[in-house]
């Protein structure tokens, strides 16, 4: 270093040279959309991956109480014992998952931390991690940061975006070490029933796969009950289940999640956790404890409201004439864009023309092309207005407009357009 202080934009003698693992991860695909959204002040966002509800008041109140009592020190690495016990009781009651609070549960700073711990604990350099896609955008970078190789296992709309053994075989997942699942799914809203999980479990046993099952949206299952793959025969011993308080309990900003798994698996994850995080945020742990003890009714109310919005949004897309499969979980639906459009072009034009923000499906990996993630974690008034704007947009985009839309972003998608070339014949409406 010279004696001169660094000036912004000035010459520096030292360059930060990120590690290869960091450079290998491309910048976020939705960054650009943020900037477009900033240009308008009437944007209705259906691009949000978190609840529009605030954390139930009793849970917030418990957090405030804990602060007033000065409970601001670290907790046990794995989380407060009362909280782990409450989680154990909840997991048993709701999902038939039986885990020992002393050795088989770890509380983390969001389910995201727990997933990352699992990647770092169980992925060696070069290990292949199969990821059912489209999927939450953090899995791929997480595997890369851990030094593993990502294997995309695309799911298809024809299967309602459920994972099939055929898809696993086609992708070559038999040779993988780890399989990552997320059902109910972000971004598609797909769920998997017991009968559909059974062949996947059989595949995992046959090929000796470790299964990482992200069940953060488990409560948000709108028809029937959620089944965890860990409850299927022979699966508990090879599965780590992830859940948390962000979605069902509307606690995203409080950053609290957990992992359930066999004692040796949790011990390996805790080894990393104790040196990096020490313990999950204490205030959030008090909120979570109260949430499990007394907020069941609030959760049910929120789930009921999501369900109504889900049906509303699905009905509207059908009326508009866009293809959409009946998503039964999370708070997303995943319509297909009209012929001639890429997901990215549609999302960009829709945002520019009508001020409605949605996320193009490509962002979530293979299988998401030509789709949009539409979040209904937004009040019904805004949903109604947003869908009216989408209807106007679809009605107005005749063949000429469609061509312009496609041409303006040709080459920007990661997957080539196979449906039609820009300028080819298109069907404006179905």
Partner 1 sequence: MSEREVLELLRENARYSATDIARMTDLEENEVEAAIEELEAAGVIRGYQAVVDWDALEAETVRAEVELNVELDRETGYDDIAERLARFPEVTALRLVSGDYDFDMEVEGDSIREVSQFISEKVAPVPEITQTVTHYVMTSYKENGIELGDGEEDDRLSFSP
State which residue, 137 or 232, has the beta carbon closest to partner 1: 137
Q: Rounded to 5 degrees, what angle do the CA atoms 229, 230, 231 make? A: 90
Give the one residue of 89, 380, 404, 414 binding partner 1; rule: CB under 8 A: 380
Query: Cβ closer to partner 1: 289 or 302?
Result: 302
Does a cis peptide bond (omega within 30 degrees of 0) precede residue 23? no
**How many Cβ atoms are within 10 Å of 257's Cβ, its own excluded?**
26
Given 21, 25, 52, 174, the residue binding partner 1 (CB under 8 A): 52
Give CA–CA dist 420/417, Å, rounded.
7
Minimum CB–partner distance for residue 70 and partner 1 (Å): 27
Question: Footprint of partner 1 on residues 124-143 (CB under 8 A)?
Answer: 136-138
Residue number with CB closer to partner 1 (187 or 261): 187
Least spacing, CB of residue 89 vs partner 1, in Å: 30
**Nearest-angstrom CA–CA distance, 56 and 222:** 21
58 binds partner 1 (CB under 8 A): no
Pick the closer one to partner 1 by CB: 34 or 74: 34
Regarding 43 and contact with partner 1 (CB under 8 A), the answer is yes
Locate 384 and state its tokens.
């109604």
Output 173 or 359, the one with its CB closest to partner 1. Answer: 359
DSSP character at residue 359: E
Q: Does 306 bind partner 1 (CB under 8 A)?
A: no
Number of other CB atoms surrounding residue 286 within 10 Å: 25
Q: Which of these segments, 30-38, 78-86, 97-105, 121-129, binds partner 1 (CB under 8 A)? A: 30-38
Which regions of 173-305 does DSSP assign to beta strands (E)? 178-182, 210-214, 239-244, 257-260
Q: Tokens at residue 314, please?
A: 């699905």
Count Cα neighbours of 345 within 13 Å in the Cβ-side half-sphere. 25
Which pairing describes strands 332-333 and 210-214: parallel, antiparallel, or unpaired? unpaired
Of 114, 150, 330, 359, the one binding partner 1 (CB under 8 A) is 359
Half-sphere exposure at residue 282, Cβ-oriented, CA atoms within 13 angstroms: 14
Contact range with partner 1 by CB under 8 A, out of 18-26, 88-96, 152-160, 312-320: 312-320
| Residue 2 beta carbon to partner 1: minimum distance, rounded to whole angstroms | 39
Residues that bind partner 1 (CB under 8 A): 30, 33-34, 37, 43, 45, 47-50, 52, 54, 136-138, 186, 308-309, 311-312, 315-316, 357, 359, 380, 384
């Amino acid at each position: 270093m010279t004696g001169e202080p660094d000036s912004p934009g000035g010459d520096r003698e030292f360059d930060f040279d990120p590690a290869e693992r960091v450079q290998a991860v491309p910048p976020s695909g939705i960054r650009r959309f943020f900037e477009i959204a900033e240009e308008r002040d009437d944007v209705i966002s259906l691009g949000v991956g978190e609840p529009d509800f605030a954390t139930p008041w009793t849970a917030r109140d418990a957090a405030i109480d804990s602060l007033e009592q000065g409970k601001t020190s670290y907790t046990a690495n794995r989380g407060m014992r009362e909280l782990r016990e409450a989680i154990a009781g909840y997991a048993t009651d709701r999902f038939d998952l039986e885990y020992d609070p002393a050795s088989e549960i770890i509380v983390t700073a969001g389910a995201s931390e727990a997933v990352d711990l699992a990647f770092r604990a169980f992925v060696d350099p070069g290990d292949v991690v199969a990821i059912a896609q489209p999927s939450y955008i953090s899995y791929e970078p997480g595997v890369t940061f851990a030094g593993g190789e990502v294997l995309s296992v695309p799911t298809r709309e024809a299967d309602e975006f459920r994972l099939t053994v055929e898809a696993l075989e086609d992708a070559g997942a038999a040779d993988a070490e780890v399989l990552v699942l997320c059902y109910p799914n972000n971004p598609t809203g797909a769920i998997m029933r017991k009968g559909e999980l059974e062949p996947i479990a059989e595949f995992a046993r046959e090929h000796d796969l470790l299964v990482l099952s992200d069940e953060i949206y488990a409560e948000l299952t709108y028809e029937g009950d959620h089944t965890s793959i860990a409850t299927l025969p022979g699966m508990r011993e090879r599965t780590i289940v992830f859940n948390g308080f962000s979605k069902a309990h509307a606690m995203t900003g409080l950053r609290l999640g957990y992992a359930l798994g066999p004692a040796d698996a949790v011990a390996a994850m805790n080894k990393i956790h104790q040196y990096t995080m020490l313990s999950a945020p204490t205030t959030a742990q008090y909120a979570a404890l109260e949430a499990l003890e007394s907020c069941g009714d609030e959760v049910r109310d929120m789930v009921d409201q999501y369900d109504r919005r889900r049906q509303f949004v699905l009905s509207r897309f059908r009326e508009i004439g866009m293809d959409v499969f009946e998503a039964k979980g999370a708070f997303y639906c995943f319509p297909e864009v009209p012929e001639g459009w890429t997901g990215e072009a549609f999302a960009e034009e829709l945002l520019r023309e009508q001020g409605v923000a949605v996320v193009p499906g490509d962002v979530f990996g293979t299988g998401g092309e030509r789709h949009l993630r539409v979040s209904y974690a937004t009040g019904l008034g805004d949903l109604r207005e947003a869908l009216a704007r989408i209807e106007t947009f679809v009605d107005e985009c005749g063949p000429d407009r469609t061509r312009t839309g496609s041409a303006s972003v040709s080459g920007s998608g990661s997957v080539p357009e196979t449906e039609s070339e820009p300028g080819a014949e298109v069907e404006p409406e179905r």
